[in-house]
Amino acid sequence: MTKPPISVIVCVYNGAQFIEEQLASITSQTYGVAEIIVVDDASSDDTFEVVKRAAARDNRIALYKNKFNIGFTANFEQAMKMANHDFIAIADQDDIWNLHKIEKMMAAFKPNAAAIYCDSVHFSKKIPAVPVANKKNRRIQGTEVRKLAMYNTVSGHALIIRKSLLAHALPIPSNIYYDWWLALQAAANGGLQFLDDILVYQRVHDNNVTISKDISKKELRHNYRTMLGAHLKAFTQIEALSEIDKQFFTTFQKYWNQSLTQNYSFGLFKFIIRHQKNLFFYKKRKAPILSALKHAFLFSFHKPNYTICQKD
């Protein structure tokens, strides 16, 4: 059977140190890649020149450069729009792909699924000879959108989506994580699939955008609260949601916003406990109800150290 062509999109910004190695892992895939779209978000280092040299060696690489920096979410959206084929694989500039990544994922991709993602592991200097998956959390898949309401297990660098999903997913709200948005849109529009295989090696270094370092627990909680508030607001606007699920996200957002400005929210506490099986589905715990009670209490009863502003 003829293998369907696939586009790979790579968004880069000041990634000269690692982009060449990542491109090598993409161009060497055992599944023939039809095109590799690289969009440089106005880098100030030698990224553009490094990719330009790679493009001279491989005519599948199409290189573009933004006149000014637009941020990684907008840049990924722009790159996805440029893709010419029905399947789109997303790549970060500093990772390394297993050479069988696309082949294995495309072979597993079910006809009714809108997106598929694989597992990944961190590395700093050397790729682990025997990579070990994180066993603490479950991976979310299927069509139950509520399981993605509080936590996202989908990384953009591990995703392959059908281009048809873009009709539902674009535009991407500017203040949320694009991979979380794509995951929930996929679940709502056909289904999200997980391949239990480590096929991406995510490099850890000082300039990672998505890997936090040297940040206190207080800052992490603050960032999570504000981040989830923005995501819940966006999720209520997903057109493919059933009326019941839309009401779920609307109610969750209302109570979550209360917790951002008040010392306590009994409504949020009761909501989290009522829906704890879905909200904490990703957590593997020996005593799940006790874990749910603990987190519901922490989120619902606290002293806010900031306020939020809502626009009409």
Q: For the residues of 69-96, what is the DSSP string, one character each?
A: ---HHHHHHHHHHH--SSEEEEEETT-E
pLDDT at 304: 58
Verify that 85 and 142 share a domain, yes or no: yes
Q: Quick check: 231 pLDDT over 80? A: yes
Q: What pLDDT digit, counting tens, does each position of 101-155 carry? A: 999 999 999 999 999 999 999 998 888 888 888 888 899 999 999 999 999 999 9
Verify that 135 and 253 share a domain, yes or no: no
In a domain, 210, yes or no: no
Q: Quick check: 94 pLDDT over 60? A: yes
Domain that holds residue 79: 6-203
* Number of independent structural domains in the chain: 2
Q: Considering 144, 179, 203, which residue would you say is the last residue of a domain?
A: 203
Q: Averaged over 210-225, what is the pLDDT?
A: 70
In a domain, 12, yes or no: yes
> pTM for this one?
0.91
Type of residue at 211 = I
Verify that 187 and 80 share a domain, yes or no: yes
Q: At 27, which CATH number?
A: 3.90.550.10
Verify that 155 and 280 share a domain, yes or no: no
Is the separation of the CB atoms in 292 and 272 below 8 Å?
A: yes
The tokens 């400005």 sit on which residue?
261
In a domain, 25, yes or no: yes
Ranges of beta strands (E only) in 146-296 are 159-162, 192-203
Verify that 162 and 139 share a domain, yes or no: yes
Contacts of 186 (CB under 8 A, 6+ apart): 113, 114, 115, 161, 165, 192
Comparing CA positions, the residue from 152, 140, 157 lying closest to residue 204 is 157
Is the separation of the CB atoms in 61 and 23 below 8 Å?
A: yes
**Residue 26 three-state SS:** helix
Sign of the Cα torsion 148, 69, 93, 35 reads positive
pLDDT at 308: 37
Verify that 130 and 32 share a domain, yes or no: yes
Verify that 183 and 246 share a domain, yes or no: no
In a domain, 264, yes or no: yes
In a domain, 211, yes or no: no
What phi, psi does 289 have (nearest 5°)? -65, -35
Taking CA atoms, 87 is separated from 161, 212, 239, 250, in Å, by 6, 31, 22, 32
In a domain, 287, yes or no: yes
Verify that 180 and 234 share a domain, yes or no: no
Split at pLDDT 50, 70, 90, the class of 311 is very low
Verify that 70 and 138 share a domain, yes or no: yes
Verify that 92 and 191 share a domain, yes or no: yes
